[in-house]
Every structure is written in C-alpha cells, then in structure tokens.
Amino acid sequence: MEQLEKLFQELEDLADRSPVIVEGARDVAALKKMGIKKNVMPLNKGVSVFSFCENLSRTEKEAVILTDWDRRGGRLARMLKDGLEANGVRANDRIRTQIVILSKKEVKDIESMPTFIERLRAMALNQRL
C-alpha cells in the first residue's frame, strides 16, 4: 500500500513536467480520481502510435508510459517506447513496471486502481483497529 502511494506521488510529480500516456479516457478519469490531474494524455485519439509519438516529439523531451498491464497494454507500451525513443523522446516506463509488480494479481488496468487503492486503505484501517 505504502509503495503504491509513493509511486502515485512520484507519478504526480513527474506529470508536472512530462506527459503521462494512458490508453483512453477512463484511464484519464481514474488518474484524476487519484489526484493526478495534469498532463495526462490518452493514446486512443484515432492516430497511429507512430504518429502520436512523432507529434509528441515536437514538444516533449520525456514521456511517462502508463498503459494497462494486460497483453494489449504490454504491446502498446513496447510500441510507445520504441516510437518515442525513435523520435528522440526519453520513454519512462519504470513506474508502470513497478505498479505491475505490486498489483498484478489484483488488477490489470489503470481504471481499476482507484478502487484497488481504496480497498487496500480500508484493509489497512481495519488492521489498525
């Protein structure tokens, strides 16, 4: 629980200076619910991954990849990393990797994280009582 909260705090700090790339609008809403309101960009806007990366490279030096950790999300993360780096943008996927490790058995996507974290907080509170 503490590790996840630290990761999301770090993500919030990173979002102040770099875009956070997610798959869609539900992921944007989930991050907002967890307090990450700045610089979150959904990938699914009708352009190819390569075009998305090319467009992003015009204004950014670094981007955080936060796709889901299902099979499709893993493929997208690899494609984004390759596309961003090919266009001179540093692709940060470290936080995604750590979230996957900490929550893989419980959730498989960003949109489920607010509920998962609330459940962990409730469990921690009950243990204290």
**Residue 129 confidence (pLDDT):** 61
Task: Give just the sign of the alpha carbon dihedral 80, 86, 87, 92.
Answer: positive
Q: Give CA–CA dist 14/38, Å, rounded.
A: 10
pLDDT tens by residue, 81-119: 999 999 999 999 999 999 999 887 789 999 999 999 888
CATH no. for 2-128? 3.40.1360.10
User: Residue 31: pLDDT band by 50, 70, 90 thresholds?
Assistant: very high
Mean of all residue pLDDT scores within the chain: 92
**Residue 127 confidence (pLDDT):** 76
110: DSSP letter: G
Q: State the CB neighbour count (10 A cutoff) for residue 88.
A: 10
